[in-house]
Amino acid sequence: MGNELDTRLAGLIDRQAIADCLARFCRGMDRFDRDAYLSAFHADAEIAAGPFVGSAADCWDWAMPLHDQAQSLTHHVLLQSSIDVDGDTAHGETYYQFIGRNRDDSVIMAGGRYIDRFERRDGAWRIALRVNVIEWSVMPPAVAIPFADVPDIAANGVSARGREDPSYQRPLVNRRARQRPDAAL
């Protein structure tokens, strides 16, 4: 029983390391954090995404100016993943949705799948090959950001592409006074 449990536990640890790798990719993209983004890929990784085919570093150099010019914010949202681990290699299929608020206040949404080959090298799981399969896109009408008119809404920081984003704050603290609005939503 111990051997089977150890094997299952090792598999769960591998899958969590791969999930963390996928999350670093998204965080890096959305926060414009090149180091976080590149930490998801091996140095010799290859990516095929839309018209781009090349290295992870070259993909960053190609994609980030496009996102910076076109969108004021982006969300790369990961959905379900199927991950098959076989020793130091794993293959994954992760559904995603991309949401961007364009600079003209319109919104773009797209979805598809990241199909990845992960490799564990020197104990670290990272992407060795990524194929981005884009399956749909839409531009729904934009609406105002809710609660933008609350006087102290930005006291804890505002969404930013970089280390000034509140998610980098350590330790995280609340700078807003406690309040409970009377009106129900």
Q: Which residue has the higher pLDDT, 148 or 38?
A: 38
CA-CA distance, 113 to 4, in Å (whole number)? 32
| Amino acid 149: pLDDT | 86
In this structure, the number of other CB atoms found within 10 A of the CB of residue 19 comes to: 16
For the segment 149-185, what is each residue's pLDDT rounded down to a tens digit? 888 989 999 999 999 999 999 999 999 988 888 765 5
With 0-12 / 13-18 / 19 or more C-beta atoms within 10 angstroms meaning exposed / middle / buried, residue 17 is middle
Binned at pLDDT 50, 70 and 90, residue 50 comes out as: very high
CA-CA distance, 182 to 163, in Å (whole number)? 35
Among the listed residues 2, 61, 40, the one whose alpha carbon sits nearest the alpha carbon of residue 125? 40
Tell me if the domain spanning 2-140 has CATH number 1.10.3720.10. Answer: no
Token pair for 156: 């804890």
With 0-12 / 13-18 / 19 or more C-beta atoms within 10 angstroms meaning exposed / middle / buried, residue 94 is buried
DSSP E strands: which ranges in 4-145? 41-49, 52-55, 71-86, 89-102, 107-121, 124-138
Q: Are 169 and 31 in contact (CB under 8 A)?
A: no
For the segment 89-130, what is each residue's pLDDT rounded down to a tens digit? 999 999 999 999 999 999 999 999 999 999 999 999 999 999
